[in-house]
């Protein structure tokens, strides 16, 4: 059914296409369900990006208690663009490390889920389930020699801190 429809030029276009078509009980329904599940997160991250890139949003950064904090306000400085309670330092400031960890976690989960569904769809297989430890082992085995960056260990530590310190 995907191949019978027009080409989408963006992820937002794809989500709009999915909203306007019924994929219930089709071979693609698992893929569509994953895409629709992450729609709210995608719209939020896109809103932040659009405000920064297109609408002249203002970013204010500062240090408090050895934490990097930031605020993103719209161009009129009357509305804060980012408001996730789990990553907020207070009602006005966002923890940088928690925010990055949250969005990277969403991105990694999305990529894991969508790739699993696409793999199953393309190979006519049933659902594949890997334990988190198995997924990490596969990632380590595949990328250990290819990716050498201290950024990944920093991100991992931030993600662990976020999961252990829910605000």
Domain annotation covers residue 21: yes
Q: Is residue 2 part of a domain?
A: no
Q: For the segment 70-118, what is each residue's pLDDT rounded down to a tens digit?
A: 988 877 767 777 767 788 898 888 899 888 888 888 888 888 888 888 8
Task: Answer yes or no: is pLDDT of 167 > 50.
Answer: no
What whole-number distance in Å separates Cα of residue 136 and Cα of residue 65?
Answer: 32
Could you tell me if residue 77 is inside a domain?
A: yes
Domain housing 60 = 11-164
Contact call for residues 101 and 159 (beta carbons, < 8 A):
yes
Residue-wise pLDDT for 1-29, tens only, equals 455 555 677 877 888 888 888 888 888 88
Give the pLDDT confidence of 111-163 residue by residue, as tens digits: 888 888 888 888 777 665 555 445 444 444 444 444 444 555 666 666 666 66
pLDDT of residue 138: 47
Task: Report the C-alpha gap between 12 and 49 in whole angstroms.
Answer: 13
Query: pLDDT band at 63, cuts 50/70/90?
Result: very high
Number of domains present in the structure of the chain: 1
1 lies in a domain?
Answer: no
Q: Does 76 fall in a domain?
A: yes
Q: Are 69 and 89 in contact (CB under 8 A)?
A: yes
Torsion of CA 136, 142, 144, 145, to 10 degrees: 180
* 63 within some domain: yes
Q: Specify if 47 maps to a domain.
A: yes
The answer to whether residue 154 is domain-embedded is yes
């Amino acid at each position: 059914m995907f191949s019978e429809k027009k080409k989408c030029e963006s992820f937002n276009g794809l989500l709009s296409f999915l909203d306007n078509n019924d994929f219930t009980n089709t071979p693609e329904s698992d893929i569509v369900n994953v895409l629709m599940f992450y729609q709210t997160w995608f719209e939020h991250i896109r809103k932040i990006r659009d405000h920064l890139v297109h609408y002249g949003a203002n970013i204010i950064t500062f240090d408090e208690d050895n934490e990097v904090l930031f605020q993103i306000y719209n161009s009129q400085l009357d509305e804060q663009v980012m408001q996730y309670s789990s990553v907020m330092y207070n009602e006005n400031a966002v923890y940088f490390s928690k925010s990055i960890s949250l969005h990277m976690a969403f991105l990694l989960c999305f990529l894991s889920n969508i790739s699993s569904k696409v793999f199953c769809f393309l190979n006519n297989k049933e659902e594949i389930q890997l334990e988190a430890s198995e997924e990490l082992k596969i990632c380590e085995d595949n990328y250990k020699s290819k990716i050498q960056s201290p950024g990944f260990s920093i991100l991992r530590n931030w993600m662990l801190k976020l999961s252990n310190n829910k605000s």
